[in-house]
């Protein structure tokens, strides 16, 4: 039996904000009998409404359906599903539906994998799910499912894997289901708590790993007592060097509308959407808004300040992609050659249980989440293993799909970070520091916040179990001591400020240059920020950047050509070349179901302030 384990959800990562996991391994579905006219008509109707309907392999029926392209799924759309009995994998992530709409889903007796992440799925919805006898994988990330709903799944004897990150499921509820289904693996994301081991487990639990020992510093003479550092004094605007502070009117924006941002944030903070936020707006190279609202630390009564530091999680991916493009500019890497040219282990990857690669994996695949790489399980060694070893560990696990066949948010950029090390001859941390962070003057952007920077880190919060208060939450990337360093993680390990990220985004908006310093070519910027395609369908992702594709905008108030990235704890940065607009939103939220309202309101007001 596989032991209980948890995911490191940088993959979530946003994409928690934009792309909930698609988590299913590619399997060859039986061809079965030819589709009936009714099934064919249903599949064609769904495809016309925007659903992705395709085979998982070379079968003649439709075994994979994805509803993400349907703007407003309704009962009619769900009813059509029941007419396509060949469906094996169904992705309803992000869908807003009522329980009655799942009647069609309940008829899919061959369904093995169901993704309900970031939907309004609840216990009533699971009443339909429990009637799927072949179901093996279920994704409930960011839903309203509770312990009671989980217990309905005890009848699903084939269920092997379930995600309950950002749900109302407790440890006790998960443990009860685990005992009923001994083969079940429950993924809980950032929740580091351990479930009681299933009663059938016979393998003794591994010993608790000792925390890594920091290098022993040389003895220093005793220092006189130091006064406690004073909290930083808030400034009206912390000016990022090289960006000009201007009035909104000088940048073609409305002062009154921008001024409404802070009051709107404060109103939502009263509703416990977060402890505090920092917001920043740049228009045409001019800083027209930078405000802090709420608290950086509720318990210490410490107000949020514009220079507060945040773990930016998957926003790191955009810097990782930029690092790759710098080496492409220099001819040291290419996007479309086999990436095994630099990392030979990529040629040895297996797909599923025994499948060989249909073609070579490229850097383009790794950077666009189309490589097929599987998400890693959380291990005691996380954060202590160098990228070189971590990348190899990722490649030892079977990939979930063939390269270029499907978009699945993953850890491909971590492997790309290792290739940066190989091609540059430097550690990933050193290369990004020397070629991006330092030249741009991003003085507070770091993998390892020092003692002084730690006084400015905004505390992470989650909603209490009763929903009445915000309480401190765990951040696995913030070590207990400055001398204990977590290894750099290319998929999501950086800490930064709103001002620093504004500098990085302005460089990208400028076509790769800031303050006369060329970081990456304009061609490289265009390549990594444009939407990419998978099997003929445009996906909302480029190379390390989300895109605002016209068919389904991830950021409704921005233009179709805009792009950016979010982070697991709610941070968000966006660039709109048409509007010459940059927005940066900083927060540290986890398990706050309606926390996204703050970001959405900020973006609405920022875009609405354009004249």
Domain ranges for the chain: 9-187, 244-317+430-529+566-608
**How far is residue 79 CA from its own chain's centroid?**
31
Closest CA to 423 of 314, 348, 339, 316: 339
What percentage of the chain carries pLDDT values higher than 70?
79
Give the Cα separation of 513 and 502 in Å (integer): 13
**pLDDT tens digits for range 414-438:** 999 999 999 999 999 999 999 999 9
| pTM, to two decimals | 0.66
**pLDDT tens digits for range 167-225:** 788 878 888 888 888 888 886 543 323 333 333 333 344 444 455 555 555 555 555 55
**pLDDT tens digits for range 191-201:** 323 333 333 33
The band of 126, judged by pLDDT with boundaries at 50, 70 and 90, is confident
The band of 268, judged by pLDDT with boundaries at 50, 70 and 90, is very high
User: Can you give the pLDDT at residue 183?
Assistant: 84
**pLDDT tens digits for range 537-584:** 899 999 999 999 766 677 889 999 999 999 999 999 999 999 999 999
The CA–CA distances, whole Å, from 408 to 26, 325, 340, 402, 414 equal 12, 22, 21, 11, 14
User: Can you give the pLDDT at residue 41?
Assistant: 85
User: Can you give the pLDDT at residue 431?
Assistant: 98
User: Can you give the pLDDT at residue 79?
Assistant: 81
CATH 3.40.710.10 fits 244-317+430-529+566-608, yes or no: yes
Say which residue, 467 or 258, is predicted with more confidence. 258
**What element of type H or E holds 45?**
helix 37-48
Reply yes or no on whether the pLDDT at 323 is more than 90: yes
User: Can you give the pLDDT at residue 536?
Assistant: 87
The band of 58, judged by pLDDT with boundaries at 50, 70 and 90, is very low
Give the Cα separation of 200 and 270 in Å (integer): 47
Chain position carrying tokens 């998957």: 314
User: Can you give the pLDDT at residue 2?
Assistant: 34
Chain position carrying tokens 């989650």: 462
Reply yes or no on whether the pLDDT at 22 is more than 50: no
Q: Which of 90-104, 252-266, 338-352 has the lowest mean pLDDT?
A: 90-104
Give the Cα separation of 509 and 503 in Å (integer): 10
**pLDDT tens digits for range 462-508:** 999 898 999 999 999 999 999 999 999 999 999 999 999 999 999 99
CATH 3.30.450.20 fits 9-187, yes or no: no
The CA R_g of the chain, rounded to the nearest whole Å, is 24
User: Can you give the pLDDT at residue 220?
Assistant: 55
Closest CA to 519 of 532, 503, 502: 503
3-class SS letters over 569-601 = CCCEEEEECCCCEEEEEECCECCCCCCHHHHHH
User: Can you give the pLDDT at residue 240?
Assistant: 46
User: Can you give the pLDDT at residue 239?
Assistant: 47
User: Can you give the pLDDT at residue 346?
Assistant: 97
């Amino acid at each position: 039996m596989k032991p209980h384990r948890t995911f490191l959800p940088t993959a979530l990562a946003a994409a928690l904000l934009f792309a909930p996991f698609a988590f299913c391994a590619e399997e060859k579905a039986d061809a079965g009998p030819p589709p009936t006219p009714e099934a064919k008509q249903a599949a064609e109707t769904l495809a016309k409404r925007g659903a992705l309907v395709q085979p998982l392999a070379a079968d003649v029926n439709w075994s994979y359906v994805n509803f993400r392209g349907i703007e407003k799924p309704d009962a009619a759309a769900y009813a059509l599903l029941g007419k396509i009995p060949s469906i094996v994998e169904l992705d309803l992530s992000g869908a807003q539906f009522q329980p009655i709409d799942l009647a069609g889903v309940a008829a899919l007796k061959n369904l093995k994998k169901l993704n309900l992440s970031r939907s309004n799925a609840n216990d009533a919805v699971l009443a339909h799910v429990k009637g799927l006898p072949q179901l093996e994988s279920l994704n409930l990330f960011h839903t309203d499912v509770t312990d009671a709903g989980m217990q309905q799944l005890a009848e699903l004897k084939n269920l092997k894997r379930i995600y309950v990150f950002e749900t109302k499921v407790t440890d006790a509820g998960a443990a009860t289901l685990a005992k009923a289904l001994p083969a079940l693996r429950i993924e809980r994301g950032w929740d580091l708590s351990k479930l009681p081991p299933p009663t059938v487990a016979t393998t003794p639990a591994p010993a608790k790993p000792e925390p890594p020992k920091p290098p022993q510093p040389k003895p220093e003479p005793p220092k006189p007592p130091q006064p406690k550092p004073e909290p930083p004094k808030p400034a009206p605007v912390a000016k990022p060097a090289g960006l000009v502070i201007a009035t909104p009117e000088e940048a073609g924006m409305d002062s009154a509308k921008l001024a409404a941002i802070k009051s709107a944030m404060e109103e939502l903070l009263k509703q416990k959407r977060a402890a505090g936020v920092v917001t920043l707006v740049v228009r045409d190279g001019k800083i027209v808004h930078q405000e802090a609202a709420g608290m950086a630390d509720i318990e210490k009564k410490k107000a949020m300040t514009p220079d507060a530091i945040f773990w930016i999680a998957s926003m790191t991916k955009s810097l990782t992609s930029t690092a790759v493009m710098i080496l492409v500019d220099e001819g040291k890497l290419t996007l479309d050659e086999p990436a095994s040219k630099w990392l030979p282990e990529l040629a040895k990857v297996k797909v599923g249980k025994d499948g060989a690669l249909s073609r070579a994996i490229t850097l383009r695949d790794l950077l666009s989440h189309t490589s097929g790489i599987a998400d890693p399980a959380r291990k005691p060694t996380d954060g202590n293993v160098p990228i070189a070893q971590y990348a190899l560990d990722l490649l030892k696990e079977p990939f979930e799909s063939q390269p270029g066949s499907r978009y699945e948010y993953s850890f491909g950029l971590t492997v790309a970070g290792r290739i940066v090390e190989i091609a540059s001859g430097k550690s990933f941390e050193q290369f990004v520091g020397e070629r991006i962070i330092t030249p741009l003057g991003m003085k507070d952007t770091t993998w390892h916040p020092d003692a002084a920077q730690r006084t400015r880190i905004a505390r992470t919060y989650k909603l209490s179990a009763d929903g009445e208060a915000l309480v401190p939450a765990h951040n696995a990337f913030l070590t207990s001591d400055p001398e204990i360093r977590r290894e750099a993680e290319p998929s999501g390990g950086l800490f930064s400020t709103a001002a620093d990220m504004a500098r990085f985004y302005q460089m990208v908006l400028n076509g790769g240059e800031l303050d006369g310093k060329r970081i990456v070519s304009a061609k490289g910027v265009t390549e990594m920020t444009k939407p990419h395609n998978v099997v003929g369908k445009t996906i909302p992702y480029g190379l390390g950047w989300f895109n605002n594709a016209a068919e389904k905008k991830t950021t409704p108030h921005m233009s179709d050509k805009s792009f950016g990235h979010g982070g697991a704890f709610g941070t968000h940065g966006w660039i709109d070349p048409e509007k010459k607009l940059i927005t940066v939103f900083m927060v540290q939220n986890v398990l706050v179901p309606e926390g996204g309202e703050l970001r959405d309101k900020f973006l609405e007001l920022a875009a609405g302030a354009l004249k």
